[in-house]
Each structure stands twice: as structure tokens, then as C-alpha cells.
Structure 1
Amino acid sequence: MTYFVRKICNTSWKLEPHRISYYDLVFMLEGSADYRVDGVAYHVREGDLLLIKPGSERYATTTGMTCVAIDFKLREGEHIDLPVVSSRKDFDDFQWLFQELDFEWLQQKDGYQLKCQAIFALILHKLLFEGQHNSANVHVEAIKRYIVEHYDEKLSVAEVARAVKLNPVYCGALFKKSEGRSISEFINLVRVNQAASLLETGEYNVGEAAERTGFKDIYHFSNTFKRLMGMPPGTYRNKPAASRRLL
């Protein structure tokens, strides 16, 4: 992130035609603006997100707006695949991040750049990976959070469904459709990831790692671990740290 501003603009504001070498990210908080990006006109309204990519020519005017603008660059070979203009139903979820970013950017205390980059990373993560919030996503997130918080306990689809107040059949189908894997598969994934972390410390043997992550059968644990990690847990524990998670 190279630039941040939260600003109020009147009719005298405009962006002259200019080809940019960075990403220009604009969140329209109030009002509207008319942009022209590479010759294509876009009317950006309250609640809209505008993303102009490097190499694009931009021009803009407004009849009055309040917006957040962020300029940033990515490493060579990296890119962001978002439309030029999109409307976000979860727009309000970004507001506290804008406030934190504004607070840190304007103070510029020691370490502010690191903190601003961290806040911006959260913004990008929400844009790219969290998507638009809807009731299905809310339920799926609740399912995942419950599993992550209770992976070391006895878990079943029925238990998870009861915890999030959903019908078990609907709960399983909803999760499968959203995540591309079953609830049981996700439980195993979380457990194996945690078991791998325990084995990496060298403080736990295979049996202890299995027990601490909710596996009651060490043979089932070993088979599941090998399927997901590409090697048996004992081999993983004894392997050099640099080569463990490259599989």
C-alpha cells in the first residue's frame, strides 16, 4: 500500500486523464462519481467498489462524494481478478477497517506502516476470499468455527448441526455445496493440521498427537494423516522441518 485517503469531494474535484502504474481501489461511502477507465464509462454509487488496474487510463468527475481511496502495488506475477465496478452487500463490514486505517495513517506513529499494511491485508482478504455475505455463508462460517473450536472433542455431523441449529441433512448438504468437501472431511483436515503442528514441535509422539486432536483410533489417524499429508505421521515427525509442508 503506497497511498491512503478518506476524503470528501465537491463538484470542483476531478481526475485528469492519466495512465496509472498501480492499483487504484476506491470505496464509495456517499454520493457518486463518474469514471472513465480505458475509454469505458462507469457510474460509481454509494456502496460500490471501484478497482482500476495498473496500465489503465483513468478520468473522473463528481457531483459530490465521500470515498476511501487506496493505491497499492503487487509483486511481479501477482494480480487481482475483480471487476472494475462491483456492488458489495457486505460494505458495512469494511467500515471499521477504514476507520482503523485512517487513524493509523494520519498519526504516523512509529510502526504505522506495518500496521497499515496489516489492516490493508485484511481488506484485501475480505475482498478476495470472503465474498458477499448471505445466510448460507453465515451458516457455513458458523459450522467451520464450531469445528475449529471443538476439533479435539467427539464430533459428528449431527453434533455440529445441533450446535449451529440446523437440520443435519441440510447442514451437510449446505457445507458440501459451499466448501466442496463434507463436514467429516473438514473435521479430519482441521485435526490433521493441528496434529502436524504438534508433531513439528518434537514434544509429542504419534499416539499423543492423535489423542490431543480428537482421533480415538491411532490406525484411523495414521491413515487419514498419510492421505492428507502424503506421508505417515511418524515419518512426518522425523522429517527435516524445511521439507514437511512442501507436499
Structure 2
Amino acid sequence: MNHLIHPQVIYFVKKECDPNWRIDNHIIHYYDLVFVLEGSADYIIDGIPLQLQQGDILCLKPQSTRSARTSGMACVAIDFVLPENETIDLPVVTPCHELADFQWIFKEMNYEWLQKNEGHHMKCQALLILALHKLLYERAKHETNVHVGVIKRYIVEHYEEELTVKSLARVANINPVYCGALFKRVEKRTISYFINQVRINKAASLLESGEYNVGEVAAKTGFKDIYYFSSTFKRLMGISPKSYLNKGDV
């Protein structure tokens, strides 16, 4: 899924459900996201019984049928709609175990939703997109590593500097030999490839601005050799930097 989505939040709530809480069986006409913060709940979705535990995330599509009850649960529920030509594809239940990454999003959405100041729908839409991005992309990675995360962020913030496996290992406080092997195992690509990818993506943005020539862009993105820059750009972008620069004049 690489296309943009434009969700419109129609309902938000952060609540505690006591044993009297229940949802009678009915069809929904919107997307429904439920994050179970504490406790558990028994749902029946399209006739299939599901038990949600703390840390689980429920995602229902329009035209789903649902009913539910609980013996006690704290949750966040977000209902939203998408334009006709847009869709998202998430599992009905995603075991997350740790919802700490979403807590600040819940806090900000609750703040905006309860005030309902001018522009709150726009802010809530932006926050929901961030939550969906985490679910669709960030949490889609089966293996993550704190050291690799530190290395990637450092590269993105220092792409114009001289970067080596040894210097990046120092940043992540790990052995240089282990550093390269760890990065490749987690990311399925080498550190060198990731550095070039970040630099070329930045180079493309600079070329699109029309403010710099090819040599200036190469220097600004950490390439000391313009010929290596040109060959790397063409390999990753499928077009030479000069042609990329000139395409804006067509």
C-alpha cells in the first residue's frame, strides 16, 4: 500500500467500560479502530467470536457486523470514513502488546476532540494518519532493534557528513563488525545502501527545487566524487541527475 489516504474522523472516545457495557449486533458503515488499554472484551465479528486482550487493536471495515460485551475494559475507539476510492488493509485483530507509541496520539486527539475548537477535525485527521502509519508501516516490520533505529536516525540527520560503519558503530555504542551485520539482518540492506538511498532522496529534492546545479547537489548531499554521485543517482532513480534536473523544464 503506497497510496495516500484521507480519513475523516467521525467519532473518538477514550473510556472505561464496566461489566454492564455491551454493543448489540449491528452493521457498521465506517472503519472502527479499538485499542484495548486494559482488561478484555468479547466481540463477535461477522459471526466469528474474538476475545480482545490488553494491547490488542481491533480494525473493522465498513459493512462488518459486530456485537460485544466485557467484564471490564479501558479502551480508545476511533471511527472514521474514507473517500470512495480509498481503502486500508489491516488484520481484524493486531496483537500490539505495548501501546506506549500511541499514547501521545490518544492524548492529543482527546484534547482536540473534547474542545472542538476551530480546525479540530484537521488536527484529529493528522493524528489518525500518524496512528495508521504506525500500524501499516512501522509495526509491519517483524524485527526491530534499538541500535539500528539509532543508526538510521543519525544517518538521516547527518547524511551530508562523512559516514562509515566504524563511526556509526560508535554512535550506536556497538562493535563495528557486529554493527554492519546487525543492520543488514534487520533492514535487509547494507548500511552503505541506506546511506546512498537517503542522500539520493535528498539530492532529488534539491534538484527539484531548481536552485542548484548537479555539482552543488552532489556536494550538499555528502558525495565527494561527482561521477560516483551521478552513477549512484542513476542506479537508484533510473535517470541521470542532469536529466532529472532538466525534466522540470519540459
**TM-score between both structures, scaled by the size of structure 1:** 0.90
Aligned residue for 1:152, secondary structure, equals coil
Q: How does 1:122-133 map to 2 (within 5 A)?
A: 122-131=130-139
Aligned residue for 2:231, secondary structure, equals helix
Which region of structure 1 is more displaced relative to structure 2, 205-214 or 168-177? 168-177
Q: 1:37 offset after TM fit, Å?
A: 0.6
Check conservation: 1:89, 1:133, Cα contact below 8 A: no
Q: Residue 239 of structure 1 aligns to which amino acid in structure 2?
A: K
**Residues 1:193 and 2:228 are matched in the alignment:** no
Partner of 1:34: 42
Which region of structure 1 is more displaced relative to structure 2, 8-17 or 204-213? 8-17
Q: Residue 229 of structure 1 aligns to which amino acid in structure 2?
A: M
Question: May I ask how many residue pairs the two structures share in their alignment?
Answer: 242
**Residues 1:215 and 2:215 are matched in the alignment:** no
Q: Residue 98 of structure 1 aligns to which amino acid in structure 2?
A: F
CA distance in 2, matches of 1:39, 1:17: 10
Q: Residue 81 of structure 1 aligns to which amino acid in structure 2?
A: D
CA distance in 2, matches of 1:132, 1:12: 35
Q: 1:100 offset after TM fit, Å?
A: 0.6
Q: 1:111 offset after TM fit, Å?
A: 0.6
Check conservation: 2:143, 2:186, Cα contact below 8 A: no
Structure 2 gaps of 5+ residues are 1-8
Q: 1:11 offset after TM fit, Å?
A: 2.3
Aligned residue for 1:143, secondary structure, equals helix
CA distance in 2, matches of 1:42, 1:19: 17
Check conservation: 1:89, 1:132, Cα contact below 8 A: no
Partner of 1:142: 150
CA distance in 2, matches of 1:90, 1:14: 25
Check conservation: 1:18, 1:57, Cα contact below 8 A: yes
Q: 1:48 offset after TM fit, Å?
A: 1.7
CA distance in 2, matches of 1:32, 1:89: 13
Partner of 1:151: 159
CA distance in 2, matches of 1:70, 1:47: 16
CA distance in 1, matches of 2:143, 2:235: 33
One of 90, 97, 102 as aligned partner of 1:82: 90
Partner of 1:55: 63
Q: Residue 102 of structure 1 aligns to which amino acid in structure 2?
A: N
Q: Residue 242 of structure 2 aligns to which amino acid in structure 1?
A: G
CA distance in 2, matches of 1:206, 1:10: 64
Q: Residue 71 of structure 1 aligns to which amino acid in structure 2?
A: D
- Cα–Cα, structure 1 residues 57 and 135, in superposed 2: closer, same or farther, change >3 Å? closer
Structure 1 gaps of 5+ residues are none
**Residues 1:232 and 2:240 are matched in the alignment:** yes
Partner of 2:24: 16
Q: 1:70 offset after TM fit, Å?
A: 0.7
Q: 1:78 offset after TM fit, Å?
A: 4.2
Q: 1:126 offset after TM fit, Å?
A: 1.2
Q: 1:93 offset after TM fit, Å?
A: 1.7
Q: Could you report, residue by residue, the CA deviation over 1:76-134 in whole angstroms, capped at 9, with x for unpaired residues?
A: 45443333223213312211110110000110101100000011111111111111799
One of 113, 125, 129 as aligned partner of 1:117: 125
Which region of structure 1 is more displaced relative to structure 2, 90-99 or 71-80? 71-80
